[in-house]
C-alpha cells in the first residue's frame, strides 16, 4: 500500500501542477488578449476623435469662407456706387470688416493645417491666400486706382475655385480615413 499511495500522491501532484500551470498559461493569454483588445479600442477611439475633429475644422473653414464671400458681395455692391465721401466711408468700414473676417479665416486655416492631413492643409492655406486679391483690389480702389473695381470682381472665380479644391481635398481625406 505504501507504493500505491506514493504513486497516487505523485499523480495528484503532477495533475495539480498541470492544472496550476494550465491556469497560469490561460490567465496570461486572457490578460494579453484583454490588453490587445483595450489597445485596439483605444486606437479606434483616437482615430474617430481625430476624424471628427478634422471634420469640424473643415466645416468651420468652409463656413468662414462663405461669410467672407458674403462680405465680398457687400463690398462689390459698394464699389458700384458713385464716388462720394459716403462711398469712401462705407468702403473703409467694409475693409475693416474684411480684415476682421480674414483673421477668422486665417485661424480656421491654421486649425486645418494643425489637424491635417498635409493635402488638406495645403488646400486650406491656398484658400486663405485667395482672399488677398480682394483686399488689394479694394485698397487700390480707395487709393484712386480705377482698375480696382474690375480687379475685385475678377477675384471671385479664383476664390470660389480655391474653395472647391479645398472641399474636394477635405472630402477625399475624410472618406479615406
Q: What tens digit of pLDDT does each residue of 88-138 get?
A: 999 999 999 999 999 999 999 999 999 889 999 999 999 999 999 999 999
Handedness of CA 74, 125, 59, 113 (dihedral sign): negative
Residue 109's CATH number:
1.20.1420.10
Contacts of 158 by beta carbon, 8 Å cutoff, 6+ apart: 130, 133
Per the structure, the count of domains in the chain is 1
Helix axes 156-176, 132-142, angle to 10 degrees: 160
Q: Residue 98 sits in which domain range?
A: 49-176
In a domain, 171, yes or no: yes
In a domain, 26, yes or no: no
pLDDT at 2: 52
Q: Round to whole Å and give the CA distance between 45 and 144.
A: 57
Per-residue confidence band for 3, with pLDDT thresholds at 50, 70 and 90: low
- At 88, list the grid cell: 469712401
Per-residue confidence band for 73, with pLDDT thresholds at 50, 70 and 90: very high
In a domain, 37, yes or no: no
Amino acid at each position: 500500500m505504501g507504493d500505491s499511495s506514493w504513486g497516487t500522491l505523485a499523480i495528484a501532484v503532477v495533475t495539480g501542477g498541470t492544472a496550476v500551470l494550465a491556469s497560469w498559461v490561460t490567465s496570461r493569454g486572457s490578460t494579453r488578449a484583454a490588453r490587445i483588445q483595450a489597445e485596439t479600442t483605444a486606437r479606434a477611439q483616437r482615430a474617430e476623435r481625430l476624424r471628427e475633429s478634422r471634420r469640424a475644422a473643415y466645416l468651420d473653414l468652409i463656413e468662414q469662407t462663405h461669410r467672407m464671400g458674403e462680405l465680398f458681395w457687400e463690398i462689390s455692391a459698394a464699389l458700384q456706387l458713385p464716388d462720394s465721401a459716403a462711398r469712401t466711408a462705407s468702403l473703409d468700414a467694409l475693409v475693416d470688416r474684411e480684415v476682421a473676417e480674414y483673421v477668422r479665416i486665417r485661424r480656421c486655416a491654421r486649425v486645418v493645417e494643425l489637424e491635417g492631413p498635409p493635402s488638406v492643409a495645403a488646400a486650406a492655406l491656398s484658400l486663405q491666400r485667395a482672399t488677398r486679391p480682394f483686399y488689394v483690389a479694394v485698397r487700390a480702389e480707395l487709393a484712386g486706382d480705377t482698375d480696382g473695381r474690375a480687379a475685385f470682381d475678377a477675384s471671385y472665380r479664383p476664390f470660389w475655385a480655391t474653395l472647391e479644391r479645398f472641399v474636394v481635398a477635405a472630402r477625399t481625406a475624410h472618406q479615406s480615413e
